[in-house]
Amino acid sequence: MGTVKLGENMEIEKEVIMKACSMAMKAHKSTEKYLSEGIQSSSSEVFFSFAGSLSVNDWFAGSAFGEMKVDLQFFPSLKYVGLDQTGRVNEAFFKRFEAVLANPRFKDEVEKAVADRRQVVFTGHSSGGAIAILATAWFLEVYNRQSSDCIAPLCLTFGSPLVGDYIINIAIRREKWSRYFVNFVMRYDIVPRISLSPLSSIKQQLQRVLDYFNQNAQQPPNDAPAFYETVVKNASSVANYAACKITGSTNPLLETVSSFVELSPYRPFGTYVFCTGTGKLVVISNPDAVLQVLFYSSQLSTGEEKETVAKASLRDHLGYEKYLQKHLKTPAVTSLFHHRQEALSVSSNVASVEREKVDEALNDLGLSGRARLCLRAAEALENQKLRNQATIDGKKKDIEKCLDKLQEYQSKCAHKVGYYDAFKSSEEEEDFHANVARLELAGIWDVIIGMLKRHELPDEFEGQKEWIGLGTRYRRLVEPLDIANYYRHLKNEDTGPYMGKGRPRRYKCTQKWLEHAEQLPNEIPESCFWAEVEELCIKAGCQGTTESILHLKTRVDKWIQNEELGGDVLLENSTFTKLQKQHFLTT
């Protein structure tokens, strides 16, 4: 059957897509939690398809939108690393995935596929797609993050509801996993939009809709139009709020309303393939653009359409296999956004033939002029983030120049009382110059962390090795000077210990980048060694201080051995050596 190109760097065998769709529909009707196929065959892929659920309780749990914080034991990467924010996922879907994972047979079959060097394809229809998404994230954590040699999985969903919040999207893109998630969505299918509504607004209608899917009745429920209208209204609130954010709107009314009205936390991630209903496939990988298309493609042109479209929104949910069988043979694919490239769909300099093709695809999705403005804004925001990255990349030389100066200063101090103690006393001119470099670096890094906090940098930024390395070098070299400055000016008497409220976010972020990249435990780092020493000096003579010093000494020996801490901390006149002598721990 050949392959189908879904974006710039993604080609999938048509046979794989059809096999996944067939298995997804089969699992949706199964009483088993999952089905597997290909384990014993010689094919290149092993398929795992997950059953959907037709009970409201398996769609929403607990709060209005049924979300929960990610269990980091299962998904340690699904967080905003530097800012220490944990992503949120649908709790009901997670519980169902947890039940699958508790089945030893599932893990054994996955393990065999990995050992046999075969690609694992996770798939699901409806809420079964949500389980497939979580299974894929789990696989990436357990296998691909631990070994670059492992064949990456593929997740193909059909009419899946949204699963996680914007932090999940950031994490997936940071880890460069986004291309492994491909979500097919029929234009009017209501299910991918359901998670944008609070349960209270749709509970009774949703159960009747799920019953319709189960019975496969000829006619949708009578309240299908009301259900459709409610879901689309809720989608409108989320999409409009998001549009204001990506366009930079500062409307105070928007902020006031959002503080009273709870909006859905769920956001799309991965690649979306919209099936227009006219034989075309429209590919979008920009999550902001996907959210806008989910809303605007479901809008009605006239009020008279409501009943027809509402019924189509339910029938579409059951029509993926038939649609793809018909149109995947000679697919007409249009990519609106290439991953991390300028979007062809809305750039004014696109060749006229390509522009006509894109316009036709947008028309088939029913996207209005306002919708296209939102797509332009999503593209512009993505490009602005890339420009912001280029700007701070231009600061690397300034950072390295200042760090080189401080490295030289550290070398000179190593022959005196040590780096930390020399700077804390600040009696020489070179100490003054070191302070200037410290302040210059603080200014640069505070700008970077501020941009990160405001989501003004690409989602991949926190995972870039060069910045992780530069941040680690900065933290190890400069944080001791910040600690010296903190205690020299007695800031601890007003603010408390440095490790409490005194430690700047720039050091916390760069520490967490390294811990995540190298899968290290979250502990007090070597760059905070002197803060521990200062607090032990304050507590000198108190019960337990001697044991704390001995414990610290053990860690110091390890840090020096690993070249994470300079040997000058053990000089005769260093504060740490004096502290040990005071407690008769050294000669």
- The model's pLDDT over 525-576, given as tens digits with 9 standing for 90+, comes to 999 999 999 999 999 878 889 999 999 999 999 999 999 999 999 998 899 9
Domain ranges for the chain, please list them.
3-384, 394-582
Is-contact 221 209, C-beta < 8 A?
yes
Q: Does the reported pTM lie above 0.85? A: yes
Residue 239 CA: distances (Å) to CA of 233, 236, 254: 10, 5, 13
Is the pLDDT reported for residue 347 higher than 60?
A: no
Give the per-residue pLDDT at 27. Answer: 93
331: three-class secondary structure by DSSP: coil
Beta-bridge partner residues of 35? 49
Q: Mean pLDDT over residues 479-504, rounded? A: 96
Kindly name the residue from 22, 165, 195, 317 that is annotated as catalytic. Answer: 317
Q: What is the pLDDT of residue 419?
A: 94
Active site residue 317: yes
- Looking at this protein, which amino acid is placed at residue 579? L
pLDDT at residue 201 above 60? yes
Calpha distance 368→407 (Å, rounded): 58
Candidate from 85-99, 189-203, 341-355 with smallest mean pLDDT: 341-355
Rounded average pLDDT over 246-274: 81
Of 126, 297, 313, 345, the active-site residue reads 126
Average pLDDT of the residues of the chain: 91
459 is catalytic: no
Contact present, 530 and 475 (Cβ < 8 Å): no
CA angle 354, 355, 356 (to 5 degrees): 90
**CATH classification code of 3-384:** 3.40.50
Catalytic residue among 165, 189, 316, 421: 189
Q: What is the mean pLDDT of residues 316-339?
A: 85
Q: What is the mean pLDDT of residues 320-349?
A: 71
Mean pLDDT of the region 330-336: 87
349 pLDDT higher than 60: no
Which of 396, 560, 444, 458 is closest to 176 using CA atoms? Answer: 458
Is residue 316 annotated as part of the catalytic site, yes or no? no
Phi (first) and psi of residue 89, to 5 degrees:
-130, 165
Does residue 254 register a pLDDT over 70?
Answer: no
